Structure 1
Amino acid sequence: MRSLSLVARFWLSLSLLLLLVLIPMEYALDQLLERFYATQVIEPLLYHSRQLAGMLAADEGALAAAPMMAEMVGGEVVVLDAAGRPRPFPGASAIAVPREAAQAVIAGRTYTGPLRTPEGRTFIITGVPVPGGGGGVLLLAPADPLRQSFALARRGLWLAGAAALLLGTALALVLARSLTRPVREMERATRAIARGDFSARVAAEGATELGRLGQAINQMAEQLETHERRRREFLADVAHELRTPLSYIRGYTQALAEGLVTDPAEVRRCQQVVMDEADRLGRLVDDLMDLAQMEEGQMAFEMVPLDLHVPLLQAVEAVRPRAEAKGVALVADLPDALPPVRADGGRIQQGGVNLLDNALRHTPAGGEVRVSAVGGGGRGG
C-alpha cells in the first residue's frame, strides 16, 4: 500500500467498502425478493389450488373450471385421480409432474417445489389434495420471467455499485463516510422487514438517491404494516361472523340427534333454524368469494338502468320468512315514484339481504324493521 498513490488507496478503499456494503444489501435484497416471490407466486398458487380442490370435492363438474384457475395464475393445471394419474380434460397440461409431487398430494400433503422440463422450461409447482381422498390438484406457474427479473435486479445493484466506484474515486473518503451510515441503516431495516417486523423505518433525509430509497423503503414498510393489520382485522371479523351460524347449526342439530326435541312442531322449527343458518352461512361464503374476486379484479357488474323497487322488494321477500319466524314485523315503505338508477340489481339485492339480515339479528321479537327510500335528493333509511 505504501507504493500506491493516494487516489489509488482511496479507490481501493472505496472498492472494499462497496463490496462490504453491496454484499449485505444483496443478501437483504434476496430476502425481500424471496418474500415477494412467496407472496406473489407460491401463496396465490396454493390459494387457487385449494379453491379448485374444494370445488372438485363438492362437485366433479367443477373440473371444467380448472383451465380458468390456470389462467388466473398464468400457468398450467394438472388434476390427478385417486391413483395419482392425470385426469384428461380440455385445457389440461401435458407436462409430466414429478413423482414426489403426485405421491405427496395423493398422500394428503401439500407440495411446493421447482420443476424443470426436458425442454429447459422451469416452473413453480404447487399441489394440494382433494378433500375426501379424491386425488389432487397441481398448478404450475412459469418461473423464468420472475427469475429473470430477480437476476436483472441483482445485476442492477452491482452495476450501480460499479458506477458509484468510478464516479466517486476522487471523493472516496467523503463518499465512504456518507454511504456507510445510511446503507447500514437500510440494511437493518430491510432485514427487519424480511423477518416480518414491518414497524422498521429508516431515516430518509434529503432528496438524494439514498434519501428517496429510504422513503421508498419506509413507504413499503407502511403499506406492508397496514396490509398485515387489515388482514388480521378481516380474519377476526370473518371468524366472528362465521361462529354465530355455526353455533346455531351445531346446537340445534345436536338437540335433534340426541332426541331432546320430540314435538313435531318443535322439530320442524329446529330444522327451519338450521336451514336458515345454513343459508346465512352460504351467503357469508358467497360474500367472501365476491371479496376475493374484487381483490383479483375479477368482479363483474351488470350496470343497467334499474327500478329500485325490484331488487329492494326481492330482498325484503327473501328475508320475510326469517322475520316472521322471529316475530319481527318487516315493512317495505317504498314510494311509487323512484328515479331510475344505473346499477347491478343482483348486487343491490345482495346488499339489501345482508343489511336486513343484520337488522333482524339485532331486533327483538315484537320489534319492527322498516325499509324505506326517498328520491329527489332526499334522505332515506
Structure 2
Amino acid sequence: MRGIIGKLWLTNVFLVVLTLLILGIALGKLFENFYFSQRAEQLIRDGRQIAQLVVERQTQDWTLEEINLLSRFIDSNVMVVDRKGLVRACGGMMRMRPGMHLEQEEINHVLEGKTVISRGFHPRFDMPVLSVAVPIRAAGEVVGAVLLHTPVEPITQSINAIRRLILYAAAGAVLVATIISFFLSRQLSLPLLEMKRVALNMARGDFRGRIKIRAKDEIGTLGETLNFLSAKLEKNLRALSQEKEKLANILSSMTDGVITFDAEGKVILTNPVAEQLLDIKQENKEQLEKKYPEINAVLHRVLETNVSEETQIKVGEKIIALRMAPLRQEDGEIYGVVALLQDVTKEWQLERLRRDFVASVSHELRTPLTYLQGYAEAILDGLAETPQQQRKYLEIILEETLRLRRLVSELLDLSQLESGQINLNFSTFSLPQLVRRVTDKLKPVAEKQGIILKTDLPSDLPLVFSDEDRVEQVLINLLDNALQHTPTQGEITIKAEVLPEEIKISVADTGPGIPREELPLIWERFYKVDKARTRAGKGTGLGLAIVKNIVTALGGEVGVESEVGKGSVFSFTLPLRDPEQDK
C-alpha cells in the first residue's frame, strides 16, 4: 500500500466511506425527526379532536371504557385534566384514577394555552414515550388539557429498519466504490509509474526511454515535459561527454604536464606527462604535497595573491619549468589553479653548452689572434733579426691561420648540415681502401703522440654506396676525437661489421671514458667534455656534432659506448648497396 496505486485507492475508499457515513447519519437523523414529527402532529390532531369533543359534551368526566376505547382507537394513552391539574379521565397504561392531582410542572405550559411536545423517559410508563399536551378551550379560556402519551419503541423500530437499509446500501456502495476506485487509481497511476521508471533510468544514465502520451491533460503535459527533459539531458550529456573526451585526449597528448587544483589546494586532475615528470600516481595525488613542498609554496602564493607565477624546480636530475595561473569565475573569484610543467632539462643543458661553447670559441679565436698579432708586430718592429727567426715567426702565423680556418670551416660545415644545404655525391667505393687512406694521413700524428693506430677489418667487406668524401670526413673526425682523448701508449682501433642491411664502422680508444650521464649530450653541438680529459684542451666541440649530422644525412645512425677508466667506442652505420644494382 506504499505505492501510488494503493494510496489513491485508500484515499478514494476513505472519501467514499466518510461521505456515506456522514450521509447515513444525516439520513438516519432526518428519518428519525421526520417520523417523530409526523407522529407528534398526528397526536396533536387527535388531542385537538378530543379537546373539541370534551367541549361539545360540556363535561370532562369520561368512563373508563370510553377512555380505553379512545386510547386504542388512536393508539395512545389519553388523559384529561381540568384547570386545577386534577385528573378527570385516564385510560391506557397510566392507571391514574379521577381526582388525582398531577404535578403542576407537567401542565403549566399547556394550561397557559400552549401545545407542548416532549420526548423522553417517562417514570409512570417506565419507558421512553412521546408526549403531547393540547389545551381545552371554552369561551376563549383554557379550562383543561388533553395529554396523549405513546411509546417511541414502534417508531424507533421503523427508524432502525431504515437505518439498516441505509447501512446495507452504504456497504454495497463502498464495495462497488472500492472496486471502481481501484481500477481508476490503477488507470491514473500507470502514467505516473511509467514516469517513475523513465526518471530512474535517467538517474542511471539511460536517456533512451520515452513516456507514451495517452491524454492531453496535466499528466500528459507532465509526460511531454519529461520526454523533452530526457532528450535535452541526453543531448547535453553527450556533448559534455564529448568535450570531456576531447579534454582528456588533449591532456593525454600534450607534451607538457598539467595539474589542476581546487580552491583549497587539493589535486583534481593530472595528465600522464605530469605523473611521469613528478613520479606520482593518479590514485595517490596527496603524495604531491609531501613530496614537492616547493610546488605547494607556489600554489599557496597564487591562491593568496591571485597572480600567475613562474619558476623552475629540480626533480632528481631533471629541471622542470613550473607555471601556475589562477582559474577565475565570471565574478573574479578563484575556484582553482592550473599548473603547467615542462621538462627543460635539455634546453637548460644546451643553454649551458652554448655558453660554454661561446666561451670556448672566444678563447679559441683569441689565442690564434693573439699569436698572429704578437708575431706580426714582432716582425714589423724588427725583433726577428735573422732570416731564421723571421721564418719561424711566419710559420707560427701560418699555423695559427690554418687553425682559424679549420675552426671557421667546421662552423660552416655544421651550419650547412643543420640547414640541409649540403650536397651529397653517392657512389660505390671500397671501405678498406678508404680506411687505409685515412689511417695513412693520421698515422704520423698518432706516432708523434705515442699512440698505436690499428685496423680490424673483415676480408670480405662488400662495397659501400655512399658519399665517399663525407664518410672520410666522419672517420677523420672520430679518429681526431680519439687522438685528443687517448693518452700516450694508448691504442685506437678501427673495426667494421657487416649487418643484414647495413655496415657498422666503429672507432675504439683506450682513453679515460665518458660518464654515463654525459653520453646523451656528446652528439650535441657546442658540447665539449671536461678539458681535463682532453689533450691540452684541443678541439671546439663541433666534431661529433658534424659526425652525427653527416651520418644522418647519409641514412645511417651514430652510437657510443663508454665506461669511465676503460675507454670509449664510437660507431656509425651506413646502408649497403648491391653493386649489381648500379649496372
TM-score normalised per structure 2: 0.27
Higher percent of residues as helix: 1
Higher RCO, 1 vs 2 (CA within 8 Å, ≥6 residues apart): 1
Structure (1 or 2) with the larger CA radius of gyration = 2
Higher percent of residues as strand: 2
